[in-house]
Chains A and B, each alone.
Chain A
């Protein structure tokens, strides 16, 4: 049953991704309606799978790399359904859905055991959940930044094509960018803190200076700087967009690093 649901989810997300990308270049609104339906159905099936897993394990299923990526994808689609549909911005789907779909695919391609967390401490899942939720915030900021850069270039080069017509206004994208970081940053902070506490309780030290921890701290400082820069140095608009794109590239590299370097069960932060 969970297997079937995960394939169904992936299929529906693929359909949604494909149609949303098609929608970017076509004037027809029918395409976006169909893709919203596909995405919605995918989300229902995705949620069902998560609930089934939750009932059987007693917590959010995130203890393997695959589960974590699946949860990440679920959160992204949820954000799209909440923000995109509420604001009538189906175009968000063309950016968020591919990301969600790719996360699911990478989760499937990775070996089942990759990055599995040793359940060294009972509440380690709290730390992971918070970190993933924070990452979702940064992912949305990345999407907003990407859309900002595209819209900015279209406006500067004065190309008033279908894409420019569909992309949201610049100030909306900038504020989505800021809000996403404001959402992600506290969660990442809490994630790191709970990780540190877990580590203290299990191995007796808050920090063991391994590469994942260093990257997590770098990420934390980076987004802290982005938030501060906006207030103090005017790092907004175009600059903020580029920064969040670069920042998220860093986050992805961290993930890949975790995956490649630790085929064995990963130690908690």
Chain B
């Protein structure tokens, strides 16, 4: 059994490629179903953020699993071939895969280290996996832990303080076009998380007016209330453009919402007054060709990344502390996962039973005083028989069920019933944390803690 991750991010692939691999929430069920249909894939989660597309999976055999995930990603978009994709992919398995997820969730792998959005995006990805039943015992545990690690990094380091988020970078760039944002009108297209954040930043700068449009007009209204702005019917998007100075596009639509023609017309009607456009989502919603329109300045997520490149030094110091925290958590998580193998669990179970048996025998022999070898053998035989008969059922079940779809659930249950800790299952191989309680928190507490 292996935990693997296959993916690409802002460091390995361009936004053009990333957006081809983006899967909308509404189609996630179909996609996860496709993943789970591969034989050998036991659990799966798709994580798509502005900066990355990653597929996490629990598989029987790592090598085969990677090939299946590759196949899955390639078939996500008809125009892709494996030659296009392979050079941009990274692969991690087991400890490295867990460490990677923890780093992602702690915002250590983000374009803007310390940005707060990624944690929410991990949660959403996990919830989708739960909804579509592609997450099981292992991913539940690992992803929940990743989320709680992300939270604890957030609260225990100052990484977030320096988190000059991508949306903040958008504001900084807007100030290169407009010296005074107070006279500017902003149009928010769509209700994407990042878009809302960028809009919030602009509102904090005191922009004159915020217009909001969304395919779902009701949603536009509620957003308009939040920003004290005005909702514009989606059909009037084009006719509204000439009125606005700054456009933030974050719809999550898989196509261009704003075309070059739209902006050419808008700039014409504005008599060449400059326009500033931010396309914050992947796939992009503003035709990149807009950059060829005079007096229109369009920036996508990769451009923002380039802009926040500086100013990262301080964050990196905090990031080191966070890295340390992540490494510690990875250690205990890896130990837990390894414990899920059937054989070590059975070995640990037998060992524990043997220890209890020996302990009890010594106590009894001590109390009974002198016994003949025959009597001793009879008592020992009795103890062994009870232990063996009692363990027979669980061991057989563990062996047979370990290969089934719910195998991990059985192993996990056995570990809880018999109170087998990682240390007992995998003694000495992995350095463990002093505090192991986190691994045995009940589901309810964990949910409360994570806010999942």
What residues make up the interface of A, taking CB atoms closer than 8 Å to B? 151, 155-156, 158, 160, 164, 167-172, 233-239
Kindly list chain A residues whose C-beta atoms are within 8 Å of the C-beta of B162.
none
Kindly list chain B residues whose C-beta atoms are within 8 Å of the C-beta of A170.
176-178, 274
B272, B294, B299, B303 — most chain A CB neighbours (10 Å):
B272
B277 to chain A, nearest CB (A): 12
Kindly list chain B residues whose C-beta atoms are within 8 Å of the C-beta of A239.
272, 294
A169 and B180 alpha carbons, distance in the complex (Å): 9
Does the CB pair A158–B306 fall under 8 Å? Answer: yes
A156, A167, A237 — most chain B CB neighbours (10 Å):
A237
Kindly list chain A residues whose C-beta atoms are within 8 Å of the C-beta of B177.
155, 169-171
A145 to chain B, nearest CB (A): 14
Does the CB pair B271–A156 fall under 8 Å? Answer: no
A160 and B271 alpha carbons, distance in the complex (Å): 27
Q: Can you list 25 contacts pairing A with B, beta carbon distance less than 8 Å?
A: A151-B176, A155-B177, A158-B306, A160-B306, A160-B310, A167-B176, A168-B179, A169-B176, A170-B178, A170-B274, A171-B178, A171-B179, A171-B274, A172-B179, A233-B271, A234-B270, A234-B271, A236-B271, A236-B273, A237-B273, A237-B274, A237-B295, A238-B272, A238-B294, A238-B295
A113 to chain B, nearest CB (A): 47
Among residues 233 to 274 in chain B, which have CB atoms less than 8 Å away from a CB atom of chain A?
A: 268, 270-274
Does the CB pair A235–B274 fall under 8 Å? Answer: no
Cβ contacts B156-175/A at 8 Å (1 or 0 each): 00000000000000000101
Interface residues on B, range: 20 to 34
B244 to chain A, nearest CB (A): 15
CB-CB nearest in chain B for A162: B310
Since A156-B297, A169-B179, A238-B295 are in contact, a sample of 16 more A-B pairs with Cβ atoms closer than 8 Å, ordered by chain A residue number, is: A151-B176, A156-B291, A158-B299, A160-B309, A168-B179, A169-B178, A170-B177, A171-B274, A172-B179, A233-B271, A234-B271, A234-B272, A236-B272, A237-B273, A237-B295, A239-B294
A95 and B436 alpha carbons, distance in the complex (Å): 65
A155 and B271 alpha carbons, distance in the complex (Å): 20
CB-CB nearest in chain A for B184: A171
Q: For the complex, is B307 an interface residue (Cβ under 8 Å from A)?
A: yes
A102 to chain B, nearest CB (A): 29
Does the CB pair A158–B295 fall under 8 Å? Answer: no
A239 and B271 alpha carbons, distance in the complex (Å): 11
Does the CB pair A155–B272 fall under 8 Å? Answer: no
B68 to chain A, nearest CB (A): 38
Kindly list chain B residues whose C-beta atoms are within 8 Å of the C-beta of A155.
173, 176-177, 297
Q: A160-B309, A237-B295, A238-B295 known; A169 and B272 CB under 8 Å?
A: no
A234 and B269 alpha carbons, distance in the complex (Å): 9
Among residues 204 to 245 in chain B, which have CB atoms less than 8 Å away from a CB atom of chain A?
A: none
A151 and B179 alpha carbons, distance in the complex (Å): 13
Does the CB pair B307–A160 fall under 8 Å? Answer: yes
